Amino acid sequence: YITPAGAEHSAGHAVPVEQLQLEKRVLLDPRVSFLALGLASGAQSEIPSGGALTLQLDVRAAEKLEGLSIGYTIRHASGTTVCNGSSPLFALEGAGDWRMQLALAKLELAPGNYDLALSLQRGALTDAKYLYDILFGAMSFRVSSARPDGSTLPPWNAAWGQWLHHDASVLSMGRCS
């Protein structure tokens, strides 16, 4: 079910941005821009809760650029923003078209439908950002109730939210006196 916005798609084949039915595109600085996007080769069509979403991105650079990152925002089908983040910093070593792979690992999402916004930017997660190109509603994807360890989530109530946190601990302090 993972699909670039409104486009027929198969894994390992990026769809040109002009063919996507984006919610919106904001090209702020053409020195670097998105050319195409899609599922990376071998990526699944539906991800399990806690699984990974791996994309193929083709970008065009007008010159050598350093300190770049790919920003992302995941929204639930209800329109609620669930999370956002940035890739590690990378460089494009000169003018030309570059193929990249973006892997979003351990997406602890509740079962349901989501979409993804992407940005090409300068700056890491904790840095001020300079934005080059933004694709809103770039890709839709579905999360199943299956978990990577083979277990399955129970039927999900939307009131419980869309982000699953399970890195907690309980320590017994003994009997109360």
**Banded pLDDT at 29 (limits 50, 70, 90):** very high
Q: How confident is the model at residue 1, as a pLDDT? A: 43
Average pLDDT, stretch 127-147?
A: 93
> Would you say residue 69 has pLDDT above 90?
yes
Q: How confident is the model at residue 159, as a pLDDT? A: 85
Q: How confident is the model at residue 8, as a pLDDT? A: 52
**Banded pLDDT at 4 (limits 50, 70, 90):** low
Average pLDDT, stretch 119-127?
A: 91
Kindly report, residue by residue over 70-82, the tens digit of the pLDDT.
999 999 999 999 9
> What percent of the chain clears pLDDT 70, i.e. is strictly above it?
93
Q: What is the pTM of this model?
A: 0.88
Average pLDDT, stretch 103-115?
A: 94
> Would you say residue 124 has pLDDT above 90?
no
**Banded pLDDT at 39 (limits 50, 70, 90):** confident
> Would you say residue 42 has pLDDT above 70?
yes
Pairs from 125-133 (Cβ < 8 Å, separation ≥ 24): 125/69, 125/85, 125/86, 129/71, 130/29, 131/26, 131/28, 131/29, 131/71, 132/27, 132/28, 132/29, 132/30, 132/31, 132/32, 132/33, 133/25, 133/26, 133/27, 133/28, 133/29, 133/32, 133/33, 133/34
> Would you say residue 44 has pLDDT above 80?
no
> Would you say residue 158 has pLDDT above 90?
no
Reported in sequence order, the residue ranges of 11-165 that DSSP labels E, i.e. its strands, are 15-16, 24-27, 32-39, 47-48, 53-61, 65-76, 81-86, 90-92, 96-104, 112-122, 130-144
Average pLDDT, stretch 129-158?
A: 92
